[in-house]
Every structure is written in structure tokens, then in C-alpha cells.
């Protein structure tokens, strides 16, 4: 009967692609018996990735203002609170990430910090992010009315001003009609148009717009240091005045690289921050109309922030302030912890209790100031060893498409692992799970129980890895039959795997799936390692009644199944 059902479903699946959202919700639940007690009795989408997470490669393209130079600039993945979870470097307006987050516990965003634009990542493969495209001619929504009598300049707050003639005491204003995205020669004010003018207003020099419907634009640049705290301000006045201002940043090649808006309120405009790490010039750019005035423009820049290791990242932003080889970290998974639960009888099906080996994993990548990967530190908890066989645990790095990386990227391994001589870019954590344990335990409700052993090791990369996406594929293998490997769906056997096992017994062409879509390993990504694996001989459908609906819909519905185990059926 199962073969007949599979045949009937072929027409439905033939147009499907690799995205799990392409499956119609509840399509298979109309075929599978509800409340099944044996995973082997249900049919699953063949291309389901068996991961309780949102994950994938994200290609980013910046739709940037043509004047904005983004090469070498950072771009971040952040969470809702603004914490940086991962970072990349823009090249030719493009970047790439691999993200893997819990299905229920996290919202993540793509942010371009140089200009502040961001967008939420919603399980996407491609994002186009507009940056630096704010319309500088748009009128602000509010009406700004200065204090004091009409036409009187407002007194500026005392500050160390690096601008020349910031209070307009003299009429020394040049003309430069080039773009506002071009840096001016430092040392004086330049008007960009003829719609503004210097005036003596009751003994106070100010810069005034001439017309109600034309912007009078003025700007001045100064030489600047990278990573220097700055504060800027100006005052404005006039009836129904419209005003806008920016602090623009340029590199040593005069490329416009970033900007900050002034915030205007009740006659005062302010902006503050830190200059970018490749900043060479700061330019103040202000425009006003409705015959309004600006006055007392101040730019204060203090000594650059400390950079103790000289890597170009200030200490307050540097996670390794005394190590010039590293500046930042990123994690795998992007947020939370990865738990992998294995069945080990491949290519024959097991009992689907997924406790033959259970490991929880978190990887912390060390990144240099350019965002290139320097090393990776693994912390792997051996949560269960419920098998009757001796199995080993290993890791191999793949690219963002889960394919082998052609060149060697590993320099050395230290700690609780060693280089795998038979697998390029691979390491062996242990060859025999029982010999690796401090004290024997199985943690499966039948055998001995114990506190999980933790294996920690650091892999140092060579320069070939740079900032490319790499994914750790953590897998198990039979101790006495090294070529008998078990991987998560979507990965393939390593060069050490024995391909003669492929397409035998229950395996389909070495895909680590059966002909009804069942796996030998599942991945659960949670914020705090909350997955409780089933006890021995307890099918996961019995331990987690919500698992069936989640699995037969390709993971797109019932994503909270992992939070509702049956007491007494899980460890």
C-alpha cells in the first residue's frame, strides 16, 4: 500500500523544489494516519531538511547610492535587541551569510551600520537592501520655530569648534557647485548654489535662504582621524523654517563612505557618534529654505578612541583588544545551540528513538578586523550514547551549499580533537564514544546515566578561508567500519565514506533518506539546549506528539513541537 501511495504522490511532488515552503500545508497529513505511533508508518517530503530551525545561505545585494563607496564596509546580522550575531564585508555591493536560528525564539535583521538601514530576514535566500538613498531635498514633517525674535540668531553652546567661521562672523563663503557627495577643500564654507547668502542680522552674521521654495545649501569639511568621537550642532530660526543637515564622512581617496543625520528640535540641531575606521574627512552639510537662518555651527572632535593592538578596531568595539589577529566573533548556529540526534544502523532503518548518539554543539568563530575567519572553537556536549555499537564523532567543513571545499583551510587543531588524515578540512573528535567518556553512561532511560562529557577544541584556519561561508557538518561513523558514516540530510559522505553502502537496504542513493523521506539524523536548534531526546525504544512520534504534523509538512507548521514532550517518555 505504501508503494501505491508513493506513486499517487509522484505527480504532486514532481514540480516541487528544494524549499520546504513549496509544500502545501497538511498535504501529507491527508494521506498519513493521524496520531501515528511509528515514524516508519508515515511519508515525509523527500527534500525536507529535518531541521527544527530556519537556516540557509543569504546573498545580499546593496542597492546603493551611486556616490556611496561600500567596498570594505561592514554589514551585520543582528537580533531584535541590536546584538551583532554575524558580520561580513561588502565587496562590489555584495555579501553572503549562512544563518541558522531557532524557529520560535529569534527574529533577525540585516543591517548596514554605515548608514543605518536595516530589514528583517524572513527565511530568505536573497535580499536587496537600499542604502544611502535618503532624499535630502524632502521637507521634514514638523515646523521648526526658533526662539527669540524673528531674525535673531540663537546663541550656540560652548564647544571646541574645529570649523572655520562656524558663527559666520565674517562673510568668507566660497562657491562650489559640485555634488554634496564630493568633499570640499578644508578651511572655509562653500555654498553649493545661489539660493542662500551671508547676512548681517542685527550685528550677528548668519547664513540665510533667499526664497521660500528654494534650498540654500552650505558645507565645510575638515581633516579627521578614524575612530574619533565627534559631536556637531547648529542653531536655526525663522518663521515656519525648514532645515536639514548631515555629517558626511569620506575616506583618503575622497570617497563618500557614510553619513549621520542631524536631529532638529526647537531651534537646535545635533548629531554625534564616532568617525568610521577609514575616515579621513568630515563634511558638515546644511540646507534651509523659507528664508530661514542657520548660525553657530560647531563640530567637536576629540582624540581617537584607543586601539591597543593597532588592528584598526577601537578597544570598545574589539572583543580581543590586545590581540591584533582577532577583533570579533560570530557563532554557529547564528543564535542558540545545535543539537544533533542520530540513528546509527544506516543504511538500515533504526527504531527512531534518536538517542544512539545525541550531541549539542556551539561554534565560536574568531574574526580579524576585516571579518576574515581566524579560528573556530567548538564546544560539544555528548548528551547521550544509547547505541550498542561503538561510534566515533567527527566534523568536516563544507561551503554554504553543503559541498566539499576544494582547498585546505585548516592549519592546526588543539584540544579534544585531531586532524582527520583521510578527510580534507575534517577533524576527529573521538573514534570510540565509550572510550572517550570519563565514566560510562548512555542517558537513554535504560542504561547508566551520567553528566554529559564536554569536548572543546580549537581549529586554526589559514588565509584560504578568508571571509567565505563555511558550515561544520558534524557526523558519526562506526568505529570498526570507518566508512559507515551518518550525516544530517543535505550533506554527503566524506572521502572516507564507503560508497558501496549507498542505495542499499533502506538508503536512497547515499542521501541519508529512505524512500519515504525518513532520516538517520535530525537537527534541533534551540536557545538553551531544551531538546529532551526520547528514551530507549520510544519512537519520537510517541515522545513528541506534535512531531508528526511538523515533519509531514516539511517543518513549516507546528514549529513548537520540541517544547511539548510526553513526561516519562523522554530523558
Is the per-residue pLDDT at 560 higher than 50?
yes
Q: Give residue 241's pLDDT.
A: 59
Q: How many CA atoms lie within 13 A of 526 on its CB side?
A: 14
Is the per-residue pLDDT at 148 higher than 60?
no
Q: Give residue 481's pLDDT.
A: 96
| pLDDT range class, residue 136, cuts 50, 70, 90 | confident
Average confidence (pLDDT) over 168-184 = 96
Pairing verdict, β 189-191 and 173-175: parallel
329 CB contacts (<8 Å, ≥6 apart)? Answer: 319, 364, 365, 366, 367
- CA–CA dist 32, 321 (Å, integer): 57
> Among residues of the chain, what percentage have pLDDT more than 90?
80
| pLDDT range class, residue 28, cuts 50, 70, 90 | low
Is the per-residue pLDDT at 112 higher than 50?
yes
> Which position has the grid cell 494516519?
33
Ordered structural domains, the chain, with CATH: 40-51+324-563 (no CATH), 173-301 (2.60.120.260)
| pLDDT range class, residue 134, cuts 50, 70, 90 | confident
Cα torsion through 74, 80, 83, 88, rounded to 10: -20
| pLDDT range class, residue 157, cuts 50, 70, 90 | very low
Is the per-residue pLDDT at 208 higher than 70?
yes
Comparing 29 with 87, the larger pLDDT belongs to 87
Is the per-residue pLDDT at 475 higher than 80?
yes
Pairing verdict, β 281-289 and 242-250: antiparallel
Q: What is the DSSP string of 157-208?
A: PP----STTTT--S--EEE--S-TTSPPPTTSEEESSSSEEEEEETTEEEEE
- CA–CA dist 70, 92 (Å, integer): 8
Average confidence (pLDDT) over 196-210 = 90
pLDDT in tens, 70-84: 999 999 999 999 999
3-state class (DSSP) for residue 504: coil
What single-letter DSSP state applies at residue 229? E
**pTM beyond 0.85:** yes
pLDDT in tens, 422-463: 999 999 999 999 999 999 999 999 999 999 999 999 999 999
**What region, left, alpha or beta, does residue 327 occupy, with left being phi > 0 and alpha being psi -120 to 50 degrees?**
alpha
Is the per-residue pLDDT at 103 higher than 70?
yes
Mean pLDDT of the chain: 89
Cis, peptide link before residue 333, omega less than 30° from 0: yes
| pLDDT range class, residue 228, cuts 50, 70, 90 | very high
Q: Give residue 139's pLDDT.
A: 64
Amino acid at each position: 500500500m505504501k508503494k501505491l501511495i508513493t506513486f499517487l504522490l509522484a505527480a504532486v511532488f514532481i514540480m516541487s523544489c528544494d524549499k520546504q515552503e513549496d509544500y502545501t500545508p497538511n498535504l501529507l497529513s491527508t494521506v498519513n494516519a493521524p496520531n501515528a505511533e511509528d515514524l516508519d508508518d508515515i511519508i515525509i517530503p523527500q527534500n525536507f531538511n529535518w531541521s527544527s530551525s530556519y537556516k540557509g545561505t543569504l546573498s545580499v545585494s546593496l542597492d546603493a547610492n551611486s556616490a556611496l563607496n561600500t567596498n570594505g564596509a561592514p554589514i551585520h546580522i543582528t537580533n531584535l535587541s541590536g546584538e551583532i550575531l554575524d558580520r561580513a564585508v561588502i565587496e562590489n555591493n555584495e555579501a553572503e551569510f549562512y544563518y541558522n536560528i531557532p524557529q520560535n525564539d529569534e527574529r533577525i535583521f540585516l543591517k548596514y551600520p554605515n548608514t543605518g538601514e536595516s530589514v528583517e530576514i524572513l527565511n530568505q535566500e536573497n535580499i536587496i537592501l537600499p542604502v544611502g538613498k535618503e532624499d535630502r531635498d524632502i521637507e521634514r514633517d514638523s515646523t521648526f520655530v526658533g526662539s527669540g525674535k524673528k531674525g535673531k540668531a540663537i546663541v550656540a553652546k560652548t564647544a571646541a569648534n574645529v570649523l572655520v567661521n562656524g558663527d559666520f562672523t565674517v562673510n568668507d563663503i566660497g562657491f562650489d557647485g559640485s555634488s554634496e557627495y564630493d568633499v570640499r577643500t578644508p578651511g572655509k564654507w562653500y555654498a553649493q548654489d545661489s539660493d542662500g547668502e551671508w547676512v548681517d542680522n542685527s550685528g550677528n552674521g548668519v547664513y540665510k535662504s533667499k526664497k521660500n521654495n528654494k534650498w540654500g545649501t552650505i558645507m565645510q569639511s575638515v581633516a579627521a582621524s578614524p575612530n574619533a568621537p565627534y559631536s556637531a550642532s547648529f542653531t536655526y530660526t525663522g518663521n515656519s523654517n525648514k532645515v536639514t543637515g548631515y555629517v558626511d564622512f569620506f575616506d583618503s581617496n575622497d570617497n563618500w563612505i557614510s553619513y549621520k543625520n542631524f536631529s532638529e528640535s526647537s531651534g537646535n540641531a545635533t548629531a554625534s557618534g564616532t568617525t568610521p575606521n577609514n575616515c579621513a574627512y568630515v563634511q558638515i552639510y546644511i540646507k534651509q529654505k523659507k528664508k530661514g537662518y542657520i548660525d553657530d555651527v560647531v563640530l567637536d572632535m576629540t582624540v581617537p578612541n584607543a586601539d591597543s593592538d593597532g588592528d584598526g578596531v577601537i578597544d570598545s568595539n574589539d572583543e580581543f583588544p590586545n590581540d591584533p589577529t582577532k577583533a570579533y566573533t560570530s557563532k554557529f548556529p547564528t543564535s542558540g545551540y545545535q543539537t544533533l540526534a542520530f540513528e546509527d544502523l544506516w543504511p538500515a532503518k533504526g527504531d527512531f528513538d534518536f538517542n544512539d548518539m545525541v550531541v549539542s554543539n556551539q561554534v565560536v568563530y574568531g574574526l580579524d578586523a576585516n571579518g576574515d575567519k581566524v579560528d573556530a572553537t567548538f564546544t560539544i556536549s555528548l548528551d547521550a550514547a544509547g547505541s550498542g555499537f561503538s561510534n566515533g564523532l567527527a566534523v568536516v567543513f563544507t561551503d554554504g551549499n553543503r559541498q566539499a571545499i576544494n582547498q585546505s583551510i585548516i592549519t592546526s587543531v588543539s584540544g579534544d580533537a585531531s586532524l582527520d588524515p583521510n578527510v580534507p578540512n575534517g577533524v576527529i573528535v573521538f573514534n570510540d564514544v565509550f572510550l572517550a567518556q570519563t565514566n560510562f553512561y548512555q542517558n537513554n532511560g535504560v542504561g547508566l546515566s551520567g553528566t554529559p562529557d564536554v569536548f572543546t577544541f580549537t581549529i586554526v584556519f589559514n588565509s584560504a578561508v578568508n571571509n567565505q561561508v563555511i558550515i561544520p557538518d558534524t557526523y558519526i561513523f562506526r568505529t570498526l567500519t570507518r566508512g559507515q558514516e551518518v550525516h544530517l540530510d543535505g550533506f554527503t559522505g566524506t572521502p572516507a565514506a564507503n560508497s558501496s553502502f549507498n542505495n542499499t537496504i533502506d538508503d536512497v542513493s547515499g542521501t541519508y533518506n529512505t524512500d519515504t523521506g525518513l532520516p538517520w539524523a535530525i537537527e534541533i536548534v534551540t536557545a538553551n539546549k531544551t531538546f529532551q531526546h526520547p528514551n530507549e525504544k520510544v519512537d519520537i512520534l510517541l515522545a513528541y506528539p506534535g512531531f508528526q504534523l511538523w515533519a509531514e509538512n516539511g517543518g513549516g507548521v507546528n514549529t513548537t513541537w520540541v517544547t511539548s514532550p510526553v513526561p516519562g517518555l523522554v530523558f
